[in-house]
């Protein structure tokens, strides 16, 4: 099993940058992202409707790169988490984490006994340590990454306990859902939201964990870094739309339109 360089970077206090994928479930996406310099790619199952078969294909193609492959599962169900890992993910992002108990459950689903409850399935060949099952399971427990999404008022109220759970590597703000939960959908400059952001970042720092978020632009990403976020991703849709809009605007201006 390969080393999880993103998990190690975040644990060492360094930032890590990548991309979240919602639309482009193609065999070449990870190669392009890796060539662009991304360190991780997180494929979304929560909002895309992608099946585990799609995720299996995406994990297989991502393994041909040096990217760390992650999957955002739709919920904290054991079968969703364990199957994503069995497909080759080096970590999971779990939405709507609201309590210490839920965070402990998520971590348990990602760990082989005695550290957790993950069942042993048919793993990909390069996950074996010289055919040693015990070494394989121990390394998987060390390298698998857990990202707990804080997306509700309740999650913010419990974020200190969530971040402190052993095995949670990152607390990640789902900014649209969090503003909706706070009663201010899409209003990211409201004090209620900025105060929640500050609390999540402070909780992550206090627990020696990373705070993560999705950025909408380079300027936005710089602001997030200054705020204290260390795991930052751009979405495939945002990147494509932004690049196409800029290219077409430039072309039209050059053509006098």
Convert the pLDDT of each residue in 39-77 to its tens digit: 999 999 999 989 999 999 999 999 899 999 999 999 999
Q: Is 148 a residue whose pLDDT tops 70?
A: yes
Residue of 47, 223, 245, 249 marked active site? 47
47 is catalytic: yes
Q: Residue 112 — very low, low, confident or very high, per pLDDT cuts 50/70/90?
A: very high
Full-model pTM? 0.94
Position 254 pLDDT exceeds 90? no
Residue 134 has pLDDT above 90, yes or no: no
What is the model's pLDDT at position 132? Answer: 78
**pLDDT number for residue 135:** 85
CA 14, CA 189: separation in Å to the nearest integer? 27
- Per-residue pLDDT tens digits for 214-225: 999 999 999 999
- pLDDT category, 123, cuts 50, 70, 90? low
Rounded Cα distance between 116 and 217, Å, is: 38
Is residue 129 predicted with pLDDT exceeding 90?
no
Residue 127 — pLDDT band, cuts 50, 70, 90?
low
For residue 136, what pLDDT band results from cuts at 50, 70 and 90?
Answer: confident
Percent with pLDDT over 90 in the chain: 88
What pLDDT does 121 receive?
A: 74
Average pLDDT over residues 226-252: 94
**Would you say residue 249 has pLDDT above 90?**
yes
pLDDT in tens, 153-195: 999 999 999 999 999 999 999 999 999 999 999 999 999 999 9
pLDDT, tens digit, for every residue of 12-32?
999 999 999 999 999 999 999
- What domains are defined for the chain? 5-254 (3.20.20.60)
């Amino acid at each position: 099993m390969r080393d999880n360089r993103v998990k190690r970077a975040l644990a060492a206090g360094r930032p890590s940058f990548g991309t979240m994928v919602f639309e482009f479930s193609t065999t070449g996406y990870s190669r392009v992202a890796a060539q662009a310099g991304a360190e991780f790619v997180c494929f979304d199952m929560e909002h895309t409707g992608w099946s585990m078969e799609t995720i299996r294909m995406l994990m297989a193609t991502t393994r041909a790169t040096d990217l760390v492959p992650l999957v955002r599962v739709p919920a904290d169900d054991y079968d969703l988490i364990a199957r994503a890992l069995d497909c080759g993910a080096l970590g999971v992002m779990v939405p709507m984490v609201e309590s210490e108990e839920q965070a402990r459950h998520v971590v348990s689903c990602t760990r082989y006994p005695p550290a957790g409850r993950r069942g042993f399935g048919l793993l990909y060949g390069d996950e074996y340590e010289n055919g040693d099952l015990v070494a394989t399971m121990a390394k998987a427990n060390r390298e698998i990454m857990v990202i707990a999404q804080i997306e509700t008022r309740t999650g913010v109220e419990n974020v200190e306990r969530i971040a402190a759970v052993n095995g949670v590597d990152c607390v990640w703000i789902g900014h649209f859902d969090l503003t909706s939960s706070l009663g201010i959908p899409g209003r990211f400059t409201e004090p209620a939201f900025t105060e929640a952001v500050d609390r999540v970042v402070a909780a992550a720092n206090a627990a020696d964990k990373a705070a993560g978020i999705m950025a909408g632009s380079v300027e936005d990403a710089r602001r997030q870094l200054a705020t204290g976020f260390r795991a930052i991703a751009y979405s495939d849709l945002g990147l494509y739309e932004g690049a196409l809009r800029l290219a077409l605007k430039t072309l039209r201006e050059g053509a006098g339109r």
